[in-house]
Amino acid sequence: MPLLKHVLNQAKKELKKKGRIREEAQADMRLVTSLSKQAILQIHQKKMQKAKKLIQEASEIIKKLQAISNTHPELIYGGSYSAAHQEYSEANILLNLIEKQEFVAPREINVSAADYVLGLADVIGEYRRLTLDYLREGNIEKGEECLQIMDEIFIELMALDETLLVSGLRRKNDVARKIIEITRGDITQETRRNALEEHLKRFERRDEQKE
């Protein structure tokens, strides 16, 4: 029978190895989240090539993490793993919507359905940001198009929440509802302001013609 000390030494080596793998995986998860956030920022700045490069970097790390999870499945049950995939999903969905006016599918970006859905919910907040940018440029029509996409995503997510239990989706839907209401109010206010300005301009032109 092997000595207890020998048995524990073997266990210690295995636990240390797992600890190193876990630490490296956690660092990679944080990097995926960071790269995805940077990609979203680049998209808003209309630097699509930079955004694609960042997303590709994140994609390679995700493949590595998924390979590790095959031998260490406990990694995928941590919140960081899911958070990284959600942020990565959000970046991919936003990029495809802006460039191709299409919704990328979960299997196309190699993420779970749950993480995809939660990432999709966050896209609504990014579209509010796009809407505000368009309103600042005076492009109400583009702002309204953004609002339509926000509405479409929200309606589908609400229907999904009624039939499937995705942890965290209800909370994100509540946040999305408030974002959409505020954005709708912003567009309405800007539309009225533009109408008032146009009315005043017509009034001024009539006065000038009378003179």
How do residues 60-119 score in pLDDT, each as one tens digit?
A: 999 999 888 888 777 666 678 899 999 999 999 999 999 999 999 999 999 999 999 999
Q: 17: which 2 tokens?
A: 């190895």
Q: What is the pLDDT of residues 125-177, one digit of tens each?
A: 999 999 999 999 999 999 999 999 999 999 999 998 777 778 899 999 999 99
37-41, 114-118, 200-204: segment of lowest average pLDDT = 200-204
- Given a cut of 90, whether residue 197 has pLDDT beyond it is no
Question: How many residues are recorded in the chain?
Answer: 211
Distance CA 93, CA 128 (A): 15
Judge contact between 74 and 92, C-beta under 8 A: no
Judge contact between 119 and 85, C-beta under 8 A: yes
- Provide the pLDDT confidence category of residue 11 given band limits of 50, 70 and 90: confident
In the chain, what is the greatest distance between 2 CA atoms, to the nearest angstrom? 112
Query: What pLDDT is recorded for position 50?
Result: 98
Beta-carbon contacts of 143 under 8 Å, excluding residues fewer than 6 positions away, are 131, 132, 134, 135, 186, 187, 190
More confident residue, 206 or 138: 138
Closest CA to 122 of 71, 77, 85: 85
C-beta atoms surrounding 65 within 10 Å? 20
pTM of structure: 0.86
- Given a cut of 80, whether residue 28 has pLDDT beyond it is yes
Q: Kindly list the domain boundaries of the chain, sorted by start residue.
A: 1-106, 112-211
1-106 and 112-211 share one fold: yes
CATH number, domain 1-106 = 1.20.58.2140
Distance CA 134, CA 54 (A): 25
- Given a cut of 80, whether residue 187 has pLDDT beyond it is yes
Query: What pLDDT is recorded for position 211?
Result: 57
Closest CA to 172 of 103, 122, 102: 122
Q: Among 1.10.150.240, 1.20.58.2140, 3.40.640.10, 1.10.240.10, what is the CATH number of 112-211?
A: 1.20.58.2140
Q: Which residue has the tokens 């946040």?
A: 175
- Provide the pLDDT confidence category of residue 206 given band limits of 50, 70 and 90: low
Judge contact between 133 and 190, C-beta under 8 A: no
Judge contact between 47 and 98, C-beta under 8 A: no
